[in-house]
Amino acid sequence: MNRTRRRKAFSGIVVFLCGAAVFLALIPLFFVFGYVIEKGFSSLSWDFFTRMPKPVGEPGGGMANAMVGTVYLIVIAGAFAVPVGVIAGVYLTEYGKKTFGSLVRFTADVLNGVPSIVIGIFAYGLAVLPVKHFSALAGGLALGFMMIPIITRTTEELLNLVPGTLREGALALGATRARAAFSVMVPAALPGIMTGVLVALARIAGETAPLLFTAFNNRYFSTSLVQPISSLPVQIYTYAVSPYEDWHRQAWAGALVLVGFVFVFSVLARVVTRRLERMHRA
Amino acid sequence: MKSPSSRRSADDRGFRLGTGFFALLVVLLVAGIFWELYRTSQLSLAKFGFRFWTGKTWDPVSGEFGALPFIWGTLYSSILAMLISTPIALGIAIYLSELSPRRLRTPLAFLTELLAAVPSIVYGLWGVFVLVPIVRKLQVVTPDWLKKVPLFSGPPLGVGMGAAALILAVMVIPFTSSVAREVLKAVPASQREAAYALGATRWEAIRAALRFGRTGIIGAVILGFGRAVGETMAVTMVIGNNPQIKASLFAPQYTMAAVIANEFTEAADDLYLSALIEIGLVLFVITVFINAISRLLIWSVTREVKAQVPKPTATVAFAAPTGGGQ
């Protein structure tokens, strides 16, 4: 009898500790979000979105060029990473049951864990070292390499949600496998695939390390592929480690914009996936 | 003229090879990274050999490169981060998969995974302006007798190993917990039911589930370790960037990823650059190794169970990479 009570008490303690762990993890979350929102909002202004950075020591100015730069880099990255990732994902759903498919999945997962700074060195070696020049292209390459494994894996997972009977129906009507995949399966999973792309975008939009020595930074407005370009994360970093009060303020504003961006994309992705899952389960 | 059916099978082959090429690109990418880093670090590899990894002096001006302090800093900070984050992450995974009321489960899972969505640079910013001052205050009020212990010695700077480990722990928690949760989800309900049928308490039933999925749980912890090893920006901003080997939590130190982030654009001569790339090469090899092991462990649990369940349910682990999968 006594022993049972002891076991129950111990069980209760463990259950309590597990709940406490959740609570404990939420403290830094609210702490970080609280600071970013509080400090960010108080520093956010119209100028921040529309003005260029002021020279060192002069207060005011904004991060207009950095925001455009970030969007620009993401477009370059997506331009090659989305097709590669989606098509690789299609391959995995159609033919990926064998050894090669497992190898691709495995390397994609491993690639996902490779530090972004290492991917940055790789892009540096490919696009900066040969021409001795930092460029938007190099930065976009680095970000794109990071997107590929994420898009590949989510595309495959979401294509697997589409009932196989759809494919069989198309094949029975005389469609080739390519046609069945690209005209039937992919459109059916399209909202999900777009979600995968959003998730990948949200993840790389805040990446700083791989841009430090590929896209570098630029005080001026640039949309050239072969020139260095400014980006929101790198600009936040530059300002955060600077000794100027006004720059710190702007770094917080930048962080708020970045977090807002990532948050919106993540929530959007979640909503679309939920709807897709429900649709195919019904 | 070809018959329609043979044309169709030719089309199918073309489709298979065409899409297969893109799948192959994923594999080639990993091989390409290794080759590129290996190629560009030749200068340093040839000049220093293994001495590079035992040398304690990092002096770019005199051309002396020893990377031991960075290895130390990376391992020490990551291990400390794991000590803090592992119990919390496993607690979260257990709570969310076994204990939480159904209604709370989704919002709580969303919130904990939100930790992974915050960019590293934002953690770094928060670290510099909020966490580091707090650590500095703690150092100031540390009693003198405690400061004599090597773990807590040193001037109150705020930046250093302790701040880095704390921020790393926060960043790693969502990765470990979401994968551990997936592993627990893959454990058949019969495991817990059998335990309950034998009169187990709640915790004893959970322990049965944990034991069933232990390889996957270990995989989840190792995956978190891999994240901690490669984390760059936040650590760079709070660790103090001083290449020294110290046990103290209050001493500024340096990590492999941080030295690359800080000094890459300053590397004026070829040897310096190549030394930094060699650090990157080793970081790459270590993280590939860690991730490979953790994936195999995770798969061994999730795949085995998935084979019995006809329909896989896909989840897009948001911002965090998808965990187990097939």
Q: How does DSSP assign chain A, residue by residue?
A: -HHHHHHHHHHHHHHHHHHHHHHHHHHHHHHHHHHHHHHHHHH--HHHHHPPBPPTT---B--HHHHHHHHHHHHHHHHHHHHHHHHHHHHHHHHTTSHHHHHHHHHHHHHHTS-HHHHHHHHIIIIITTTT---HHHHHHHHHHHHHHHHHHHHHHHHTTS-HHHHHHHHHTT--HHHIIIIIIHHHHHHHHHHHHHHHHHHHHT--GGGTTTT---SS----TTS----HHHHHHHHHTSS-HHHHHHHHHHHHHHHHHHHHHHHHHHHHHHHHHHHHH-
Of B65, B38, B28, the residue nearest A125 (C-alpha): B38
ipTM above 0.85, yes or no: yes
What is the reported pLDDT for B10?
80
Annotate B28-71 with DSSP letters as a single string: HHHHHHHHHHHHHTHHHHHHHGGGGGT---EETTTTEE--HHHH
Q: Which domains does chain B have, with CATH numbers?
A: 41-306 (1.10.3720.10)
What is the reported pLDDT for B304?
Answer: 67
Mean pLDDT of chain B: 88
Nearest residue on chain A to B223, alpha-carbon basis: A113
B294 touches B226 (CB < 8 A) = yes
CA distance B135 to A278: 47
Q: What is the pLDDT of residues B68-94, one digit of tens each?
A: 999 999 999 999 999 999 999 999 999
pLDDT of residue B3: 64
Whether pLDDT at B318 is above 90: no
Structure token digits, residue B5: 């059916």
Tell me the average pLDDT across B187-206: 91
Nearest to B74 by CA among B312, B267, B293, B286: B286
Exposure of A133 by Cβ count < 10 A (0-12 exposed, 13-18 middle, 19+ buried)? middle
Handedness of CA A184, A187, A192, A198 (dihedral sign): positive
Which of B94, B125, B232 is the best substitution to test chain A (most A C-beta atoms within 10 A)?
A: B125
- Is any Cβ of chain B less than 8 angstroms from the Cβ of A199? yes
Asked whether the predicted pLDDT for residue B202 surpasses 60, the reply is yes
Say whether B111 and A199 touch across the interface (CB within 8 A): no
Helices (H), chain B: 4-40, 42-48, 68-94, 102-117, 120-126, 132-141, 144-147, 161-186, 189-197, 202-212, 214-230, 233-238, 256-263, 270-306
Q: Which fold has domain A48-281?
A: MetI-like fold (1.10.3720)
- Tokens 């991730």 locate to B291
Would you state the pLDDT for residue A47? 84
Q: For residue A178, what are its two tokens?
A: 């390519």
Q: What is the pLDDT of residues B231-249, one digit of tens each?
A: 999 999 999 999 999 999 9
Q: What is the model's pLDDT at position A224?
A: 85
User: What are the tokens at B68?
Assistant: 């031991």
Looking at the DSSP bridge assignments, the partners of residue B65 are B58
Q: How far apart are CA B100 and CA B109, in angstroms?
A: 10
Q: How far apart are CA B153 and CA B249, in angstroms?
A: 8
Q: A40 at the B interface (CB within 8 A)?
A: no
Q: Which residue of A has its CA nearest to B233?
A: A209
Checking if the pLDDT of B156 tops 70, the result is: yes
Return d(Cα B152, Cα B89) in angstroms, integer: 26
Polymer length of chain A: 282
Whole-number pLDDT of residue A125: 93
Alpha carbon distance B249, B230 (integer Å): 20
Please answer whether residues A247 and A61 qualify as being in contact, where contact means their C-beta atoms are separated by less than 8 angstroms. no
CB-nearest partner of B20 from A95, A202, A233: A95
Closest CA of chain A from B240, distance in Å: 12
Residue B315 has pLDDT above 60, yes or no: no
Q: Which residue has the higher pLDDT, A52 or B217?
A: B217
Give the pLDDT score at B313: 43
Q: Is A258 on the interface with B (CB under 8 A)?
A: yes
Contact A207, B256 (CB under 8 A): no
| Mean pLDDT on B196-222 | 93
Q: Which of A25, A119, A125 sits opposite B92 (nearest CB)?
A: A25
Q: At which residue do the structure tokens 């800093």 appear?
A: B73
- Residue B308's pLDDT is 53
User: Chain A 102-161, CB below 8 Å of chain B: which residues?
Assistant: 103-119, 121-122, 124-126, 129, 145, 148-150, 152-154, 157-158, 160-161
pLDDT band at B311 (very low <50, low <70, confident <90, very high): very low
Question: Considering only CA atoms, which of B170, B169, B184 is closest in space to residue B93?
Answer: B184
**Residues of chain A falling short of pLDDT 70:** 1, 280-282
The residue-averaged pLDDT of B197-212 equals 92
- Cβ within 8 Å of residue B217, ≥6 positions away: B90, B180, B183, B184, B210
CA distance A50 to chain B (A): 22
For position B283, what pLDDT does the model report?
96
| DSSP classification of residue B242 | -
Query: Of B284 and B106, which is predicted with more confidence?
Result: B284
User: Is B194's pLDDT higher than 70?
Assistant: yes
Nearest to B22 among A11, A88, A106 (CB): A88
Work out how many CB contacts closer than 8 A connect A with B: 315
Query: What is the separation of C-alpha B10 from the centre of its chain, rounded to a whole number of angstroms?
Result: 44
- Out of A145-154, A266-275, B18-27, B195-204, least confident range: A266-275
Domain ranges (residues) in chain A? 2-43, 48-281
- Beta-bridge partner residues of B59: B64
Residue of A nearest to B311 (CA): A161
Write the pLDDT tens digit of every residue in B245-259: 999 999 999 999 999
